[in-house]
Amino acid sequence: MVTPIHEDGAPDLPGVERMLHFLAGRGCHGMLLLGTTGEGPSFSPQERFLILQAAAKARSQHPGLRLLAGTGTPSLDETIQLTQQAFDLGYEGSVVLPPYYFRKVSDDGLFTWFDLILKKAVPSHGVLLGYHIPPVTGIGFSYDLLRRLKDAHPDSFAGIKDSSGNPEYAQGLGQRFGQALFVLTGNDRLFSIALQSHASGCITAMANLFSPWLRQIWETYQLGQPDPALQEKLSAARVILDRYPPMPPLLKGLLHQMHCLPQWPVRPPLIPFSDDLIPGILSELNSLST
């Protein structure tokens, strides 16, 4: 979920609630707050808490909606504190980046780091997902590291959000772990491949715009009737959007034009998306539905 903010950069807490209601009405089983698309690392711990609190308040109107919190930072203590706060607010799980400042740490070091978070911050009723996004963090989760974490914390370490964009990695998760590891893909183009490899669903940036498509792909797969034509259309849409990185300002611009939501700004170092490009992108996206 994108994070609504005011022109001065402060979190737009009523906007957070509005965005959650919007997505809940478009087929989402739940939302990830303060992930990459949500500009999580751009906010202070105090701001993150207020944003998570606003979403938890809005969730009360949607029974069954699940909330995940992006709580990873390079600081172990800060990550533990944010993770504890998310569970105190009633979140079902946290999604935690590896400590991305040191990019050459060993699996032993990463295991120690996550082991401490799981022991100190995740309650018996909560779960933690590793956030695998090497193009952003520079480090990720090897299969062996996932196995060690799952063996050490079989209940609280649920699995992984895989935003690597690597089909071989996605298929390898299924081959090595089957359904024992809870996997959510972060790439729209790989959604069907991930489902075929025992993934449970997805958390993607494009769900802000096209969650009904993603929900339909998920439901047809559950019925044993995959929809390759819709997957092809979703993949084509992702190709279009990937030409205009980074994603948060683009999504906020498109949400404003496509769904009449406010024109929310972004936090530096991101800059607003050029309004001049929006009509052309919309034309390309609209052509997929004809």
Q: Distance between CA 10 and CA 25 in Å, rounded?
A: 26
The active-site residue out of 131, 137, 185, 204 is: 131
Active site residue 71: no
In the chain, the DSSP E strands lie at 30-33, 66-70, 93-96, 127-132, 157-162, 182-185, 201-202
Active site residue 3: no
Q: Which residue has the tokens 């050029």?
A: 274
Active site residue 150: no
Q: Distance between CA 121 and CA 183 in Å, rounded?
A: 21
Q: Which residue has the tokens 């533990």?
A: 80
The active-site residue out of 3, 36, 71, 83 is: 36
Let me know: does 89 contact 50? Beta carbons within 8 Å.
no
Query: Which residues make Cβ contacts (< 8 Å) with residue 261, sequence separation at least 6?
Result: 18, 19, 22, 255
- CA-nearest of 243, 187, 186, 247 to 37 is 247
**DSSP summary character for residue 180:** S
What's the start-to-end Cα distance of the chain, in Å?
27
Active site residue 100: no
What is each CA distance from 94 to 31, 36, 135, in whole angstroms?
Answer: 11, 14, 21
Q: Distance between CA 35 and CA 67 in Å, rounded?
A: 12
Long-range contacts at 267-271 (CB < 8 A, ≥ 24 apart): 267/5, 267/9, 267/39, 267/42, 267/43, 268/9, 268/42, 270/39, 270/42, 270/246
The active-site residue out of 3, 71, 91, 161 is: 161
* Positions marked active-site: 36, 101, 131, 161
